[in-house]
Structure 1
């Protein structure tokens, strides 16, 4: 159910949205054994399609540690 427009928060700025995502990622990492985060510049929601070479390098590097 959506809140009325008058009750909604203003849209988050890009830096605020990034900060929230980073905080969420840090919480997830703490709950996963050997978890880690990576920021891939120039990519958004479809990182594996937008920057496949960087995504693959990071993923394969992680998988090699298992």
Structure 2
């Protein structure tokens, strides 16, 4: 989920940069890129991926019947 958010932030930064939109210092394209990089780093680190909930591995042993 954080990877998709990072892609959206990178796209917004691209639009601001490509359109030469005059924004204040808080909403600059550089800040959007830095927030996108932080979200991408969290995604690569495994935070926000949803695999740590344990629901995926709970049914691991039920697949084979004897």
Query: Same fold, TM exceeding 0.5?
Result: no
TM-score (norm 2): 0.31
| Higher relative contact order, chain-length normalized (CA < 8 Å, sep 6+) | 2
TM-score (ref. length: structure 1)? 0.31
Q: Which has the higher helix share?
A: 2
CA radius of gyration, larger in:
2
